[in-house]
Structure 1
Amino acid sequence: MEHGACHENDDYSNTALNLNKPKFVTNMRHQHALVLVGRDTIFGVHMTQYHHEEHKYQMILELELPEEVRKIYRDLRQTWPEMAFVLCNAESDLFMVPEIGGGSIASFRANIFMGLFPLDKLLPEEEENEHFFPWAPSIVKPLNDVEFEVTVKRVVQFRPFNHQEILPKFANYYVWGDGNEAHMTHWQTAHLASGPFDAPAFGPDYDHIMTLKHAPNWLDAPLLKAGVSVSVPAIKLRNATKKKKPDIPQVRPFKHDGKIEVLYRGIGQPYEVVAGYTYVFGPQVASSPSTIPELDPSVTTSNSPDQMMFMPATPKEYWADARLSSNIKDGFKDE
């Protein structure tokens, strides 16, 4: 028994994971993208990346915006209800996600951007940059004229990934909100996918940030405000016929106004929620590139043809002026 335990430790000591072990565990301060949901109560949902230490966190924050910024956001949300609005801390005010999750930082300077700049219009040096950040004023224009101070009113969820967690049979989601507004995000699993002597790779799984049509009438207000865990039996992540291969959905699983059956805590009889808009969906940003499954050509999808990713494109009027010049790749057509 003891000999076997020593042997397992010896094996681990020679793996790629252990050889890359840092002497001191910390995170690099960085810019972070928070997708905004809600109108009366505004929340920011952190976009994840399993293969970047600084983004290996699910986090939901209730935010307070300056009144003039709040008005801009609410007016544009009314005009563009299906648009993803992305709040990003300024390049001059970098932080670690755990500093927000742990309460040591309660405010930061930020900008708000619309959608995602078309990835096929990036410059070669941007595409090759491991820490490229697509919401930069040199790429897209912020909604606000100047940076503003964001206050974190409360942390709704702070969850560091554990790479030994197993992908569940059915998708799990987190439901939260306030008043008559409610939202859902996929409970992600950044499981280790690489072999012991390979470069570490994590996934696949998918990010999904969406709103609900209204707060569920079966969920008490204090539970909604704190957030609850539900399962969605309609989304199967492990197909028995495919052995251990994950079965990640390739298109947005819920239609606007569609009814979704969910199991509270993953058990019992189903309850019903009604889907609103999806702002982010897919494994493309979250998962390690080597784990992302190929698109099934037989599946009709409104996603980009070469990637499993949905996020509304930045309207052309919000491109930075330099992006409208002739040095950008030709062939772009307005939707």
Structure 2
Amino acid sequence: MTVEHRPDTVSATADRHGHRFLLIGKKTIFSYHLGLYYVPIHAFQMITRFGLPDGLRDTYLSDLEAHEDQQVYYSLFTEGHWPLQDIVDGRRTSLPVELERVTVDAQGNRTFTPLLPAVDATCRKEDVVHYRPLEPDAGYPDFLTALSFGQADEVHLAHRLAGAPNWDEVITTVDPRGFQPGDLAPAGTVTVSTVKDPHGAAPKSPLSTGTRYEGTTGGRTVAFTAGRQGWWNNTSLNKK
């Protein structure tokens, strides 16, 4: 069940200047940038893969296993307000990252807790599967629209951010059917015509965990069951 989120309460680490990337997946671990509409350096929706040291990867996977059924997320924090375009263009090939556990209390407040000190991760421009600027004045689609990414049978869906205010969410699907490699890298666009877009900062996910959905991508039908939520934000995303 998705908890309604209220204004954030976070640890001191959340106040440092830098980028955060949510870790998504198990077999292949993707990194999803924490975007902010009204902070220019963060006003991008980006999905990529980092080369992660074994120790960080193992810590993430073991901690995720211990908290699988809880509303717990995982992020990489990297210091500095450098442009994400540096990764896309290949000017930046590595960065120091700190692994954090992001916990959510009953009121929806988030706390960022460091799990490991900074280690170096590699980044390659060819591993970027989605990158586009956020446009707060853009309109809203009629129906729920998501970005599909992943590898093989591990398929994730990120809400495709249009106008502001909005909500940011990533889920991992269960029993995905009909997705092709070209739908995942670069990230494809999936439209679920049975779910209306809320046209705003939804108080909870329009997708119900355990429910089966059909969508279309590239003129084809795909199907999935909504699984674990890997990220949710309808607060700081929209703050001016």
Distance 1:47 1:177, change over 3 A: same
| Counterpart for residue 237 of structure 1 | 197
Q: CA deviation at 1:35?
A: 0.8
Please report how far the alpha carbon of residue 282 of structure 1 lies from its aligned counterpart in structure 2 after TM superposition: 4.1
The alignment partner of 2:129 has SS state of strand
In the alignment, the residues of structure 1 paired with residue 67 and residue 19 of structure 2 have an alpha-carbon distance, to the nearest angstrom, of 23
Instruction: Tell me the equivalent position of 2:11.
Output: none
Cα distance in structure 2, aligned partners of 1:274 and 1:118: 26
Q: 1:151 aligned to 91, 100, 122, which one?
A: 122
In structure 2, stretches of 5+ residues that fail to align are: 1-15
SS class of match (1:278): strand
Q: Specify the SS of the correspondent of 2:57.
A: helix
Q: 2:165–2:200: 8 Å Cα contact kept in structure 1?
A: no
In structure 2, which of residues 173, 183, 186 is the aligned counterpart of residue 212 of structure 1? Answer: 173
The structure with more radius of gyration: 1
Q: 1:169 aligns with which of 119, 142, 147?
A: 142
Aligned pair partner of 1:33 in 3, 17, 20: 20
Alignment of 1:91-102 (within 5 A): 91=79, 93-102=80-89
Q: Deviations over 1:5-27 (max 9, x none)?
A: xxxxxxxxxxxxxxxxxxxxxxx
More strand by share: 2
Q: How many angstroms apart in 2 are the aligned matches of 1:272 and 1:111?
A: 35
Q: Does 1:279 align with 2:238?
A: no
**Residue 78 of structure 1: CA displacement?**
1.8
Query: What are the ranges of 5 or more consecutive residues in structure 1 without an aligned counterpart?
Result: 1-28, 123-133, 191-202, 239-245, 290-335
Superposed CA offset, 1:113-148 (max 9, x none): 11147698x9xxxxxxxxxxx74xxxx3x212x310
Letter in 2 for 1:210: I
Does the 8 Å contact 1:175/1:230 carry over to 2? yes
Q: Bigger relative contact order, structure 1 or 2, given CA contacts below 8 A and separation 6+?
A: 2
Structure 1 residues 236 and 87, CA, compared in 2 at 3 Å: closer, same or farther?
same
Residues 49-92 of structure 1: CA deviation (Å, up to 9, x unaligned): 11111111000011211111111111112222252111111x3x
Percent of matched pairs sharing the same residue: 22
Structure 1's 204 and 94: CA in aligned 2 closer, same or farther, altered over 3 A? closer
The answer to whether the Cα contact below 8 Å between 1:47 and 1:55 also exists between their aligned partners in 2 is: yes
* Matched position secondary structure for 1:32: strand
1:84 counterpart (73, 97, 112): 73
- C-alpha separation in 2, matches of 1:284 and 1:49: 10
Q: Which has the higher helix share?
A: 1
Instruction: Please tell me whether residue 71 in structure 1 is matched to residue 58 in structure 2.
Output: yes
